[in-house]
């Protein structure tokens, strides 16, 4: 609540935590790191954010990443294994759920299918892997 202002009023965030939204966000620790983008600690479920990404990333990307990571916060609260090594990244159920939710929000804020593909494709992801992720999400990014 100190660093990401107003998220407790955001409909997508409320969709994740419901009545518990304020309580969860008030207690959610944010750790500033110097690598990657954003992540959630598998130990205690706190949020880790690259400070450089916050100052150089695109606003929509950062916003959607926060939504994605908050899904992981919720999954961690439910006792789910966030980094289950039995799955490849794009096949992991916790990732598919978080990506689906972020893409739903991306559509709501008006991103086009092409923009959503750009958002989803990180530099470590090949086009085939991206297509697999989109297929796994079982979501039509062309239309709302």
- Contact residues for Zn ion, defined by CB under 5 A: 95, 98
> Given the complex with Zn ion, which of 89 and 142 has the nearer CB atom?
89
**Is the distance from CB of 97 to CB of 71 less than 8 angstroms?**
yes
Instruction: Output the 3-class SS for 69-120.
Output: HHHHHHHHHCCCCCCCCCCCHHHCHHHHHHHHHHHHHHHHCCCCHHHHHHHH
Q: How far is CA 4 from CA 8, 59, 71, 118, in A?
A: 9, 12, 15, 24
Q: Which residue has the tokens 């990307």?
A: 61
**Is the distance from CB of 44 to CB of 30 less than 8 angstroms?**
no
> Given the complex with Zn ion, which of 24 and 64 has the nearer CB atom?
64
Minimum distance of Zn ion from residue 135's CB (angstroms): 17
Minimum distance of Zn ion from residue 40's CB (angstroms): 8
**Residue nearest to Zn ion according to CB distances in the complex:** 98
Minimum distance of Zn ion from residue 72's CB (angstroms): 5
Q: Which residue has the tokens 């660093």?
A: 3
Minimum distance of Zn ion from residue 100's CB (angstroms): 11
Minimum distance of Zn ion from residue 64's CB (angstroms): 11
Compute the distance between CA of residue 28 and CA of residue 34 in angstroms, rounded to an integer. Answer: 19
> Given the complex with Zn ion, which of 95 and 105 has the nearer CB atom?
95
């Amino acid at each position: 609540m100190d660093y990401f202002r107003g998220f407790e009023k955001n409909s997508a965030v409320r969709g994740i935590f419901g009545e518990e939204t304020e309580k969860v966000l008030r207690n959610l620790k944010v750790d500033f790191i110097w690598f990657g983008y954003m992540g959630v600690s598998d130990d205690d479920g706190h949020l880790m954010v690259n400070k450089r990404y916050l100052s150089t990333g695109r606003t929509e990307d950062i916003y959607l990443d926060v939504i994605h990571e908050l899904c992981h916060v919720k999954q961690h609260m439910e006792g789910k294994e966030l980094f289950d090594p039995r799955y490849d990244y794009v096949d992991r159920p916790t990732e598919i759920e978080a990506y689906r939710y972020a893409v739903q929000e991306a559509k709501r804020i008006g991103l086009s299918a092409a923009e959503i593909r750009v958002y989803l494709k990180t530099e470590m992801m090949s086009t085939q892997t991206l297509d697999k992720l989109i297929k796994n999400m079982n979501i039509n990014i062309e239309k709302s």
